[in-house]
Amino acid sequence: MSMSKQKPELDLYMISPRGFCAGVERAIQIVEQSLVKWGPPVYVRHEIVHNKFVVDTLRNKGVVFVKSLDECPDDRPVILSAHGVARSVIKKAQNRDMNFMDAICPLVSKVHVEILKNHREGLQNVMIGHAGHPETLGTLGQLSLGEIFLVETVEDVENLTPDDPDKIAYVTQTTLSIDDITPIIKALKNKFPNIKEPHKSDICYATTNRQEAVKKAAPFIEGLFVIGSPNSSNSKRLVEVGRNAGCSFSMLISGPEEMNLSLIRKFKTIGLTSGASAPEILVERCQEFLQKHFHIKFVSLETIKENVTFNLPKELRV
Ligand code: SF4
């Protein structure tokens, strides 16, 4: 009997869209091109994107990751992460006359523009987001304290006391789950019937598409593995979306080393996807790992083709 015949059978749903979004691609290219143009070391404030593999790879090429601009010398290039930063951080870099590049995703910038416009119109802003996440800190940091409020739950909405209940607007973090924010938006609209909404959802195309694909796959699979780092907001949401859509075993993994074989042997069908900051090579490694232990039947489940790209800053275009 050949080895392959001894392997248990497993249907593997390859769920897409998955993996890198246009904002992550752009941020990584900004770092790569900066290394080419200026040579190492290049400094990056915060993890450029929330993925350990990406960060380790860049570190090996000469990138120094720091928490604050205070750790950067004045004479080396500094890149600000895809999540966006508070205005105070930009000001600090300008005051020090640093060679800095903002790798903020244009779809996060769009939210910043929105809240500043609301502010100019005399509205107080409410942001639906997760406290402490760098995108939230960056978005809240576009305005002063008291001009923007963070809400994470329906209870937070109940406790909200703006100066004028008719003069408020809301925005959201880009990587939330559509299903999670629906009750919060409903509570906001109930309490503040005149609240101004974003023209188009602030949840970005990549988050939306990856969640939709997982929702489609969930009824067909017994286990879902989402490749992503534990601090990746959109990856964590994919795990929750899978669970809520009917795949009770839904798990976030950093790579194949976290795939539990004895557990997978209990399944006939599993699904594999990855968050917007996880590189495809990690998906390939998980596939290879599974192929070593199972006789795999691949099923491709693709809900939409993505063709979004963002330009690099002028000084880095080749
Ligand atoms: S997940 Fe969305 S908002 Fe975040 S970097 Fe990607 S495209 Fe931009």
User: What percent of the chain shows pLDDT beyond 70?
Assistant: 98
Please report the atom of ligand 1 found closest to the CA of residue 204: 2
Domains of the chain: 3-20+205-302 (3.40.1010.20), 22-105 (3.40.50.11270), 107-191 (3.40.1010.20)
| SS3 call for 118 | helix
Smallest CA separation from ligand 1 atom 5, residue: 23
Residue 243: pLDDT above 70? yes
Residue 185: pLDDT above 80? yes
4 vs 203, residue with greater confidence:
203
How large is the average pLDDT for residues 183-203? 97
Q: Using alpha carbons, list the distances in angstroms from residue 280 to 138, 255, 258, 273.
A: 28, 11, 16, 10
User: Tokens standing for 286?
Assistant: 């998980």
User: Tokens standing for 141?
Assistant: 């940091």
pLDDT value, residue 145: 86
User: Tokens standing for 19?
Assistant: 């993996």
**Residue 135 catalytic?**
yes
Length of the chain as a residue count: 318
Residue 26: pLDDT above 60? yes
189-196: long-range contacts, CB 8 A cutoff, minimum separation 24: 191/157, 191/158, 191/160, 191/165, 192/162, 192/165, 192/166, 192/168, 194/165, 194/166, 194/167, 195/126, 195/168, 195/169, 195/170, 196/118, 196/123, 196/168, 196/169, 196/170
Residue 244: pLDDT above 60? yes
How large is the average pLDDT for residues 256-271? 97
Q: How many helices (H) and strands (E) does the chain have?
A: 12, 12
Residue 2: pLDDT above 70? no
Residue 5: pLDDT above 90? no
Smallest CA separation from ligand 1 atom 2, residue: 204
- Contact of 17 with 306, CB cutoff 8 Å: yes
Q: How far is ligand 1, taken at its centre, from the CA of residue 90, in Å?
A: 20
